[in-house]
């Protein structure tokens, strides 16, 4: 209702204005509410341009089976609506191998993939990487992947510029993962390895030698590192923004690159 007591005709807005309004809503709100308001809104919500970027977080973390299944179904729906135009997807907790492969099969032009805390993704990333040649940013924070998967991602995604592996769930206890990154991701500009309990100076040296374009490096809470002497000098000379092991970790970790 407007200030003069009249009801606003939301259905009569120009399509481009409706698109601008609806594009500010979350994915769940669009699929479960907005598209059901009227025919004109439903029509706009089906436009592929509405689904170029997909952001769907479950802040509660825990999901029962029905809730998880509903989220997976909504995600598949949104991916299909993009008609191959999806360039950025950000989902937490509920991604599976099957869903990830559906995303990769349907979204060859994907630039950004964030699947943080998705513990049901295993071989799916290995399979999906080969279908995403234009991927530029990958966030696999709080996930567990073998070093062979990282190598495959690096080789299949030559445009990868950003890798975030915040608090990885590691299944190995040495520098294998760091060496895998160094040997397969030479174009990295941004690398976030916060909370890694095993990486030593050997792994860090491999990354610095293999990723010559690196500008941002987050090593907070990587307590095995000892940044002294030549290694400290190399970091100072090569890295424009460096977060050291003892630097504070307050604030949301995904804001680090902004």
In a domain, 1, yes or no: no
Residues 43 and 155 in one domain: no
> For residue 242, what pLDDT is reported?
96
- Express as a percent the part of the chain with pLDDT over 90: 57
pLDDT at position 97 is 95
What three-state secondary structure class fits 78?
A: helix
By three-state DSSP, how is residue 54 classified?
Answer: strand
Who's near 56: CB < 8 A, 6+ residues apart? Answer: 26, 27, 28, 71, 74, 75, 78, 90, 91, 92
Q: Which CATH number do you get for residue 207?
A: 3.80.10.10
Instruction: Please indicate, yes or no, whether residues 30 and 152 belong to a single structural domain of this protein.
Output: no
Give phi and psi for 194, each to the nearest 5.
-55, 145
Domain check: are 43 and 76 in the same one? no
On whether both 106 and 231 belong to a single domain, the answer is yes
Q: Are strands 190-192 and 241-243 parallel, antiparallel or unpaired?
A: unpaired
pLDDT of residue 13: 67
CA distances from 206 to 132, 139, 203, 232 (A): 26, 21, 5, 14
Question: Is residue 110 located within the same domain as residue 216?
Answer: yes
Structural domain of residue 156, as residue ranges? 52-243
pLDDT number for residue 54: 85
**Domain CATH for 45:** 1.20.1280
Query: Both 162 and 219 in a single domain?
Result: yes
Total domains present in the chain: 2
Q: Identify whether residues 18 and 140 lie together within a single domain.
A: no
Low-confidence ranges of the chain (pLDDT < 70): 1-13, 15, 19, 21, 58-62, 170-173, 251-258
> Which residues have CB under 8 Å from 14's CB, separation 6+?
none
Q: Do 16 and 94 have their domain in common?
A: no
253 is a domain residue = no
Q: Do both 26 and 151 map to the same domain? A: no
- Does residue 230 sit within a domain? yes
Task: Pull the structure tokens for residue 75.
Answer: 């995600």
């Amino acid at each position: 209702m407007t200030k003069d007591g009249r009801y606003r005709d939301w259905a009569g807005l120009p399509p481009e204005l409706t698109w601008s309004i609806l594009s500010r809503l979350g994915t769940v709100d669009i699929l479960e509410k907005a598209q059901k308001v009227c025919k004109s809104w439903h029509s706009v919500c089906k436009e592929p341009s509405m689904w170029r970027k997909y952001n769907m977080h479950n802040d509660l973390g825990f999901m029962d089976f029905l809730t998880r299944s509903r989220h997976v179904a909504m995600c598949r729906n949104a991916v299909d609506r993009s008609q191959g135009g999806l360039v950025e997807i950000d989902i937490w907790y509920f991604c599976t191998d099957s869903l990830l492969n559906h995303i990769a099969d349907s979204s060859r032009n994907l630039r950004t993939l964030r699947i943080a805390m998705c513990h049901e993704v295993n071989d799916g990333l290995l399979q999906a990487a080969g279908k995403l040649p234009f991927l530029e940013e990958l966030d696999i924070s709080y996930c567990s992947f073998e070093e062979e998967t990282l190598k495959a991602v690096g080789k299949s995604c030559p445009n990868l510029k950003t890798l975030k592996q915040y608090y990885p769930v590691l299944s190995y206890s040495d520098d294998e993962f760091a060496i895998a990154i160094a040997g397969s991701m030479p174009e990295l500009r941004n690398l976030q390895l916060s909370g890694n309990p095993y990486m030593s100076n050997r792994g860090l040296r491999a990354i610095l030698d293999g990723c010559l374009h690196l500008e941002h490096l987050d090593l907070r809470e990587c307590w095995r590192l000892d940044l002294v002497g030549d290694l400290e000098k190399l970091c100072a000379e090569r890295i424009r923004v460096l977060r050291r092991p003892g630097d504070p970790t307050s604030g949301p970790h995904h804001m680090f690159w902004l």
